[in-house]
Amino acid sequence: MIAGGTEMSGARNDGGGNDHGSLARAWEILVARARGGRTISYGEMATALVLSPQSGQFTEILNELSRAEEAAGRGLLGVLVVRKRQGTPGAAFFNLAREVGRRFDNERIFYLEESERVIAHWQGRPADELDILHDHVVEELERLYYSTHPTGLADSDSTPTREPRASSGVGNIIKRIFGRRS
């Protein structure tokens, strides 16, 4: 089921070219990934649906699921489908996010926050954990920025470092944002 309890099974066609069996299968795959805290590549998802990742039907399935899940308050489920090399969704995902009213300046940060929101929902974690994660991400970003920019005004009581702590979960998120590898 998706938004509003709509059943996602059967192999009917909605008249718009989307096979409800493919839509249901995509939803099942993405919910399982969310519960496991994992993403899936466009190629893997397309193979599972027996579609080309470049097909209009594939894109529309991801968009339809994201719209329905967003309307139900569970976030943009398509955030979990990522480009294999970059590890983030493609331009169509970010365009859809803007289309449904999401506002953001940095796509990587939006991706990290939205994927965490979707995963948290399906893992049954409370929303306040997301607020805590967001606060830590912002603090770590500010610390990293001010410690690596010579004109930054690092807190005089702290010793700035050039790299986030390797053991820090937030440090690993920062590394993902800036594309650093351990």
Burial of 78 (0-12, 13-18, 19+ CB in 10 A): buried
**Token pair for 104:** 């953001």
Query: What's the pLDDT at 141?
Result: 74
Query: What's the pLDDT at 144?
Result: 72
Q: Where are the alpha helices (DSSP H) in 42-126?
A: 42-49, 56-71, 91-99, 107-123
Q: pLDDT tens, 135-149? A: 667 777 777 766 766
Q: pLDDT tens, 73-113? A: 999 999 999 999 999 999 999 999 999 999 999 999 899 88
List CB contacts of 103: < 8 A, sequence separation 6 or more: none
- Domain map (residue ranges) of the chain: 3-105, 127-178
**Taking residues 37-63, what's their average pLDDT?**
95
Q: Around Cβ 45, how many Cβ atoms within 10 Å?
A: 24
